[in-house]
Amino acid sequence: MVTVQGTVERITDEDEFRLADETGSVRVYVGPNWVPAAVGEAVTVDGFVDDDFGPMEIYARSLTRADGTIVTFERRYD
């Protein structure tokens, strides 16, 4: 499990976005849900890292928006 903070760099698909901070960026998967944030928005993501095949990505369990709103992803991959 990880907690990462950053800015939504770009939305790459309806259920996936890139989260960036001063160290770089990582793909965040929220599927099969819609991305609940906008490009440029600061967010915190709780989830787990998947680096088995291909590039590393985070499978999000929840996302906290800058205003404190917490979005929990009920339908997620474990």
Domain ranges of the chain: 2-72
Could you read off the pLDDT of 19-72 as tens digits, one per residue?
999 999 999 999 888 999 999 999 999 999 987 777 889 999 999 999 999 999
Which one-letter amino acid corresponds to residue 34? W
The predicted model scores a pTM of: 0.89
Which one-letter amino acid corresponds to residue 61? R
Which one-letter amino acid corresponds to residue 49? V
Distance CA 78, CA 12 (A): 22
Q: Among positive and negative, which fits the CA dihedral 18, 74, 47, 3?
A: positive
Question: Closest Cα partner for 28 from 63, 53, 52, 1?
Answer: 63
Do 35 and 22 form a contact (C-beta atoms < 8 A)? no
pLDDT of residue 37: 95
Could you read off the pLDDT of 48-61 as tens digits, one per residue?
998 777 788 999 99
Which of 2.60.40.2250, 2.40.50.200, 3.30.70.260, 3.20.20.140 is the CATH number of 2-72?
A: 2.40.50.200
